Chain A
């Protein structure tokens, strides 16, 4: 921190405290660091993928307080005091999240590079709307690109997960 001769403090780093996948993390982070680098480099959470770095493709999608966010273009300092969920926080191999299980059942992927972003966007959708229509799924998910073209299977997986979750 530098206190300039006049005016308010100008910061090179910020002391962050946030919750990542249910665990508190704190540390000093340069103000220019984006959330994707905090997750991948400092926390080793490499399930979140770097791709377009322009908020277009959705491969880096994580949830910040439940809202889908492009971690590649979200300055890390903004997450102070917030709760971040990545693909690693959703479920495990033994106990997958209903959305992960549905993606496997419906083969909602081929190469898999966009999949963690797809699943996190879908998680955000079902948190926001537990029973989305086909149109609402298409609208919400339209910002997550799958170059293998698994869109129909992805939409089917989300519908399936929605139905099973509501049935309990």
Chain B
């Protein structure tokens, strides 16, 4: 049994924000409950009020305006995985959504809830970082957009303000000429390491690269130093640089030993996946070109 609480059902983001401001620490946002209900059941988190944002119509659905795909925060992982706009414009995001937990978790959890929970062992963040995606945050004072890279702060920590509601995620497709990949390994349905890549190769060389790695550090990060290092290299050389990036990756991510594996193991796997993700994205791109 869950400890009793009271439920609020706002119908606009403004209303939800006003309630969060009024209730302060006593309230939590409910956007699907895939994580929250478990924390409440196991007594890790107690709350007096649950503010259900799933009743806010503007938080639902995926739209495409010709440049940007907008995914409502209350869109479930299953909906993200199957949505034709996401599959066509943000294919690695669709792929990552389809790997989360199990089918029941994907039917309940939402992209907004996932981002706000900020569990470092999560899949959508790496593709979102490669796409330079933004979150849309709303409160009674107005709306702001923040790159996902600035939104993610640390383990279970984001830059959202106490009275803000994450209403949506916005991302553009990768520019013309980019190939992409999303690779992961898991243990008991929790990702141990995931890697997302976007690579533009021309005449066998890396012209541009975007790389992200998740689950190993406190949050999913873009590897801007590695992106610079591989730019200009031949594809085989670039994959080798990725595979041998372990010492720097260890400094960047400060991995720890846990039930998913030792720090050394996780860095080893991350480097293997980085090498593959660079190669796969480059070859996807070259296959598309030829």
> Which chain A residues have a beta carbon within 8 Å of chain B's beta carbons?
2, 6-12, 14, 30-34, 37, 53-56, 58, 61, 64, 67-70, 73-75, 77-78, 121, 124, 140, 142-144
Q: Which of B2, B10, B22, B49 contacts A6 (CB 8 A)?
A: B22
Contact B102 A143, beta carbon cutoff 8 Å: yes
Question: Is B103 in contact with chain A by the CB < 8 A criterion?
Answer: yes
Q: Looking at chain A's contact residues, is the secondary structure mostly helix, strand, loop, or mixed?
A: mixed
Known: A12-B7, A75-B33, A143-B103. 5 other contacts (CB 8 A): A8-B15, A31-B6, A32-B5, A68-B103, A121-B103
Contact B4 A30, beta carbon cutoff 8 Å: yes
Question: Is B8 in contact with chain A by the CB < 8 A criterion?
Answer: yes
Assembly CA distance A8 to B6 (angstroms): 12
Q: Which of A2, A143, A144 contacts B6 (CB 8 A)?
A: A2
Contact A7 B22, beta carbon cutoff 8 Å: yes
Assembly CA distance A90 to B112 (angstroms): 34
Contact A55 B102, beta carbon cutoff 8 Å: yes
Closest to B42 in A: A54
Assembly CA distance A6 to B23 (angstroms): 11
Contact B37 A61, beta carbon cutoff 8 Å: no
Provide the residues of chain A in CB contact with B241, threshold 8 Å: none
Q: Which of A8, A55, A75 contacts B8 (CB 8 A)?
A: A8
8 closest A-B pairs by beta carbon, nearest first, are A143-B102, A10-B6, A31-B7, A32-B2, A11-B7, A70-B104, A67-B107, A73-B37
Assembly CA distance A14 to B23 (angstroms): 20
Question: Is B229 in contact with chain A by the CB < 8 A criterion?
Answer: no
